[in-house]
Amino acid sequence: MGNFLGIDVGSISTKGVVIDENCRVLSYSYLYTQGRPIQAIKSVLKQLDGHYDISGAGTTGSARRLAGVMINADVIKNEIIAHALAASYFYPDTRTVIEIGGQDSKIIILRDGIPVDFAMNTVCAAGTGSFLEHQALRLGVPIEKFGELALKSKNKVTIAGRCTVFAESDMIHKAQLGVPVEDIVKGLCDAIVRNYLNVVARGKEIHPPVLFQGGVAANIGVKKAFEEILKTEVIVPRYYHLMGAIGAALLAKEETEHKKTRFSGFSLVDIPFSTRAFECQGCPNRCEVIEILKGNKVIDRYGDRCGKWSEI
């Protein structure tokens, strides 16, 4: 019987979990990346170190390679696979996964537990967690109360949701007209859902059961708006904010079933890691090559198209 570590490093938040053989969460850590992924990864490991015997470790998220190299992970996979695996593990009948995080959003279409289609929006922050927090601050509403306030709305208000600039202008205009804050908040929740369905989920067949994952799933106003527009129940898992990390841990469990883990151990929090970049002049592509250093030693390179630098 072993325990498995999963780390999900995103642009806004870094998550880590330790699960046991039966996928019970033994410990977890959730903190803001704050533009310093190396320090965030170390902080997560420090919080998770409960003297667990780790039999496998996996990483996912936008900085999955950096995290994987740092901890010597057994498996490094993208967020689509990690989120899909966690969703189908806890809810085997899931057919649609809605995931809205701090900086991006995605949809995953599952059939018999297998991801058959997906789409991501990483270009515009409209409708993401950071966008919601910014609007909550503008309205003077604690983000924790945002969803509750939306449910108190009695009147339908339309807010433009395709762009953060237009949404803010529309909100200011409605406030100047004396529209109650709860109606503006509800209008914003509806706008977020419309934007998601028109941009991220465009052309996708959304069938229940529908799972809502990522940090924005905590907002009951957005959940309710999805249910009203989709006309179906939207399920928010208990560990909605950790599903990527849990998926990475499950992948590590599969990867190490018949072999010993490569995980370096929790003590690596004391080892200095750094990154640097340079532009390769070898051809007209001018690739930006990223180097990861452990102390003064380069332990990984990536970013080149031809493999000249990454094959170290």
- Per-residue pLDDT of 216-240, as tens digits, reads 898 999 999 999 999 999 999 999 9
Q: Looking at the structure, do residues 63 and 19 belong to the same domain, yes or no?
A: yes
Determine, yes or no, domain membership for 310: no
* pLDDT value of position 125: 61
Q: Which domain holds residue 36?
A: 3-85+244-270
Q: Looking at the structure, do residues 253 and 295 belong to the same domain, yes or no?
A: no
Q: Looking at the structure, do residues 121 and 184 belong to the same domain, yes or no?
A: yes
Q: Looking at the structure, do residues 215 and 227 belong to the same domain, yes or no?
A: yes
Determine, yes or no, domain membership for 308: no
Determine, yes or no, domain membership for 311: no
* pLDDT value of position 234: 97
Q: Looking at the structure, do residues 98 and 169 belong to the same domain, yes or no?
A: yes
Model confidence at 84, pLDDT cuts 50, 70, 90, reads very high
Q: Looking at the structure, do residues 133 and 251 belong to the same domain, yes or no?
A: no
Q: Looking at the structure, do residues 148 and 165 belong to the same domain, yes or no?
A: yes
Determine, yes or no, domain membership for 206: yes
Q: Looking at the structure, do residues 262 and 287 belong to the same domain, yes or no?
A: no
Report the C-alpha gap between 218 and 237 in whole angstroms: 10
Q: Select from 189, 217, 236 the last residue of a domain.
A: 236
Q: Looking at the structure, do residues 124 and 220 belong to the same domain, yes or no?
A: yes
Q: Looking at the structure, do residues 174 and 218 belong to the same domain, yes or no?
A: yes
pLDDT greater than 70 at residue 162: no
* pLDDT value of position 259: 93
Q: Looking at the structure, do residues 232 and 97 belong to the same domain, yes or no?
A: yes
